[in-house]
Amino acid sequence: SNLNFKSDWDALMAANPYVLRISCSGFNQSKYGVTHRGGDVEVVKRHMRELGEARRRTGATTSIHMLFHRYKDNLDDEAQMRAYCDELGFLFRPVWAYFMPYEKVLAFAQAGPNAEGLNDEDRGVIDRLGIPLAEVLEACRAARHQSCSLQDEQIVLDHRGDVVLCCTVFEAKGNMIAPYLETSVHEIQRRKSVHPTCTGCMEQGLHVYSVYGVPEMEQMAARRTLAEYAGKLGFAISA
């Protein structure tokens, strides 16, 4: 959940779900509002506290964690949100944000930043990424023969209970697999394995990108963000 909307926290925690993930990209609205557009981080923080109190009241054992989306310009906020999560007893898991959805990543992989289907807003997001998109896609393409854990180990359901091909695709047309309750897991997995979207994705190594499947990603992000901070502090670093 992005936790922007009020819910019955006591009822939620009384159901004792195994895990609840909170998606966030800032501690201050100036950063959060850019990448969670339309959201209010002060509302999120208030709901986090209410959720923690409900967990205590109900005795739930639910693991609550925050997935913090790192960009090259929100790293100062990360330390603040980590401290807030520690105060509430929530786990904190930062990850380098990557570009989505699959359809737009594929367009970039095939034709670069000026690809048809990408707009100025998309290019702005790409510029804010801690992981340089062109560089990491090149590394993922070289590792394209890896198996796809999203295909092999996950089943994605929409709000109707229908199976969607993958969590990385946003376009519903052509990517719906079958009604979950009416289809065997074997048949669902068979249909996914021969789907043309999966074929095109794996040819470009985008399935590797979507699961942080090359170790170089961390080094790429470190180099890029270090360069950004070095520029702000007025000194140069070698490539």
For 179-189, what is each residue's pLDDT tens digit? 999 999 999 99
Which tokens belong to 146? 């890896």
Place of tokens 């002060």: 42
Would you state the pLDDT for residue 51? 98
Could you tell me if 105 and 205 are in contact, meaning their C-beta atoms sit under 8 angstroms apart? no
Integer Cα distance of 82 and 88 in angstroms: 10
Helix (H, G, I), strand (E, B) or coil at 171: coil
The sign of the CA dihedral 188, 189, 194, 197 is positive
Q: Inform me whether the pLDDT recorded for 238 exceeds 60.
A: no
For residue range 31-78, what is the model confidence (pLDDT) as tens digits?
999 999 999 999 999 999 999 999 999 999 999 999 999 998 898 899
**What's at 26, amino acid-wise?**
G
Residue 235 pLDDT exceeds 70? no
Full-model pTM: 0.84
The number of beta carbons lying within 10 Å of the beta carbon of residue 144 is: 17
